[in-house]
Amino acid sequence: MLSTSGMMSTMSASKGGRSAYHHGDLRNALVEAATELARGDGPEAVVLREAARRVGVSATAAYRHFANQADLLQAVKVRGQRELADSMQRGVEAAPGGGDKQQAARDRLWQIGRGYVRFALAEPGLYRAAFCRVPHVSDHPWDEGQPDAAEHGEEYRSFDMLVETLDGMEAAGVMRPGVREGAEFAAWSAVHGLVMLILDGPLSRLPEPVRDAVIDRTIGTVVAGLTREPVRS
């Protein structure tokens, strides 16, 4: 009953409900188009008029589904977060997973980290959109107050995966004593910062091999900072 997917009250349109005037699934179509814009050139490329243009609809039609272009951007953000989490999920599932339990717990942190960075570098525009500042989502009546309770409702699933991983490390007894609390933020900060410095910042011109080494070094530092023993490369 939230405002998530196209679930308008009385409306037959769901599959072929397009009558050349009433699109039938405009909201999703717009989010789709806007997402492609972000994928191409980041959040600043998410321009409402262009998204509408691509869907073949007038610009103002978008205002039937979004309060703002900020609101549209917010939708793109959510999609970006989802794609990030999905990508990481696939990466983790396709992992070897052998060896002893303790090593596995450590390895999982590595995999999570590498999966995170891999997605960001593969989809720079979308990643930047997923973490961009969204100016101000003006609240419309149908936009029932932003979900403030529940901390973050389903978005930031990538963060949840990180939390689970760290819990697993603690359970396996590989974690340095007393560092569990807040470790998720430390780890997240490191990979997010690394990605941002590479994407927008001063590390953008690093030659690829150096870049990859830096990535491993950064993740390695975090792992070393959180675990009891130093880890092999």
Q: Which residues bind DNA (CB under 7 A)?
A: 8-13, 19-24, 26, 46-50, 57-61, 63-65, 68-70, 138
Give the DSSP H/E element, type plus range, for residue 93.
helix 69-93
We find the least distance from the C-beta atom of residue 111 to its own copies, in angstroms, to be 18
We find the least distance from the C-beta atom of residue 93 to its own copies, in angstroms, to be 24
Residue 11 contacts by C-beta under 8 Å, 6 or more apart in sequence? 17
121 is in the binding site of which of DNA, its own copies, none (Cβ under 5 to 8 A by kind)? none
We find the least distance from the C-beta atom of residue 212 to DNA, in angstroms, to be 35
Q: Using CB under 8 A as the criterion, which residues of the chain lie in contact with its own copies when the complex forms?
A: 42, 44, 128, 131-133, 135, 152, 156, 159, 176, 179, 181-183, 185-197, 199-203, 213-214, 217-218, 220-226, 230
Nearer to DNA, 59 or 179 (CB): 59
For helices 69-93 and 48-55, what crossing angle results, to 10°?
70
Nearer to its own copies, 27 or 42 (CB): 42
**Sign of dihedral through CA atoms 88, 188, 4, 39?**
negative
User: What is the DSSP track for 138-193?
Assistant: PPPTTS-----TTSSSS--HHHHHHHHHHHHHHHHT-BPTT--TTHHHHHHHHHHH
CB-based contact 101:31 (threshold 8 Å): no
We find the least distance from the C-beta atom of residue 41 to DNA, in angstroms, to be 12
